[in-house]
Amino acid sequence: MVVGSERLDVTERETILPALSAIEHRRNALATLRHRDFRLLWIGQLISVVGDQIQVVAIAWHIYVLTGSALQLGLVGLARAVPYMTLTMVGGAVADSMDRRRMLVWTQAFQMIVSGWLVYATFSGNVNAGILYVVTFLGGAAQAFDQPARGALVPNVIPPEELSNGFAMMTLLRNTTMIIGPGIGGVLIATVGLSWSYAANGISFLGLMAAVLLMTPIRVRPAASGNNWDKVVGGLRFALAQPLVLMPLLIDFATRISGGSRALLPIFAKDIFKVGPQGLGWMNSAPAAGAVIGGLLLGSAGPLARPLMLMVTAYVVEGLSLVGVGLSPNLYVALGALLVMGFCGVFAEVPRNTVVQMLTPDELRGRVTALASIFTSGGPMLGQLDAGAVATVVGAPIAAVLCGSAMALATIVLALSPSMRKGYQTVQA
């Protein structure tokens, strides 16, 4: 791979990716934590993302209690998706032109202020659905700058030969927090109320701020010359020239916009299984538990000969598992189906992230990470609206069946593209 080039031909991919893979899998993923700056980044994100997950569960529960509307649950995803998808490319350009650590401090500080406003409104009894949507909107805008900086920072703090292990650890982190966060959130809502749940999130931002301030300053290669618009769309141009970067992202986007299961969980918890906020915490935690199991298994595995084929298979099974949630006769069967969903999700995510980052030069990583975030994070946000709208018409169980079926079908259709068929044979991760 030639850093600084925006193109990488098939011959180079065939030669370089297997060689890198052989080196990477000599190490256990957990060993990547021996690098001080990566360890600080990982621990800081662990604290911050747990808080974020607490607030996600709290807002979903709060909205549904206030409105009783599946559609309004879906609108929470739209409120987050609009600013996120609009501003993320700008956030990627900024991440490629400044100290990414400083960028994270500013985004965390902004989100802490927004969270403080929500805490005040809730404690004072002046909160309503409109305020929850505004807070979600502002959080989405902050994440548009936060996520590109986080993703682009990982290759700056670990050696290239440990890149896949680093991303495996970040996936493990995110899914671990999705077990811890919703579980804590459900308990907090049930025991001390929504106000203290929001306060816990506000405090958690201090963790990542402290971590990045302790990290070693990182010198980022200046972005290529050109006008501001060229800098913003640089990641998109690179992806369009690299089908094996673009197509995995398109598949992820199609599956996530088809299968927005998270918007349906408060309905299952409150109205179908009647297990309250603690049950909602369990349902949010189950996919993450599956992902942690999958991440540990993947981290200890040898080189993956056909990672893109594994990714496609995982998405299909994940969609079928969502169908299983809709058909579940009780909470325990649904938790099992959600566990399988999370297990499959990690087997799609890690190969996808590793291939995309290995094919991307460092001066474009912020912008390519931003583009990837639009697909991989924007899709679920819009998927919540999709699932909520369908559930409004046909009910949550049938909506889960329809969304899961659409997820599997979308994967199969896109997986048959010529570039993907070639990638099954030539790419190793």
Q: What is the pLDDT along the chain (429 residues), one digit of tens a residue?
A: 333 333 444 444 444 444 444 444 445 667 788 889 999 999 999 999 899 888 888 898 888 888 888 778 778 878 887 888 788 888 877 877 778 888 899 999 999 999 999 999 988 888 888 899 999 999 989 988 888 888 778 878 888 777 767 777 887 787 778 778 877 888 888 888 888 989 999 999 999 999 989 988 776 555 555 555 556 666 777 877 788 888 888 888 888 887 777 778 888 888 888 888 778 878 877 887 888 888 777 766 655 667 788 888 999 999 999 999 999 989 999 999 999 998 998 888 877 877 777 777 767 776 777 777 777 776 777 777 778 788 888 888 898 899 899 989 989 988 888 877 776 766 555
2 part of a folded domain: no
Contact 151, 368 (CB under 8 A): no
Please say whether the beta carbons of 306 and 361 come within 8 A. no
Asked whether residue 4 is assigned to any structural domain, the reply reads: no
Q: Give the separation between CA 271 and CA 267, rounded to whole angstroms.
A: 5
Total domains present in the chain: 1
Helices 129-157 & 163-191, crossing angle to 10 degrees?
150
351 in any annotated domain = yes
CATH of the domain at 180: 1.20.1250.20
Evaluate whether residue 1 is within a structural domain: no
Q: Do 44 and 208 form a contact (C-beta atoms < 8 A)?
A: yes
What's the domain range around 221? 10-426
5 found inside a domain: no
Examine residue 86 and state whether it is found in any structural domain, yes or no: yes
Q: Does the pTM of the predicted model rise above 0.75?
A: no
Domain-located, residue 3 = no
- What's the per-residue H, E or C state across 96-157? CCCCHHHHHHHHHHHHHHHHHHHHHHHHCCCCCHHHHHHHHHHHHHHHHHHHHHHHHHHHHH
Task: Look at residue 95 and tell me if it is in a domain.
Answer: yes
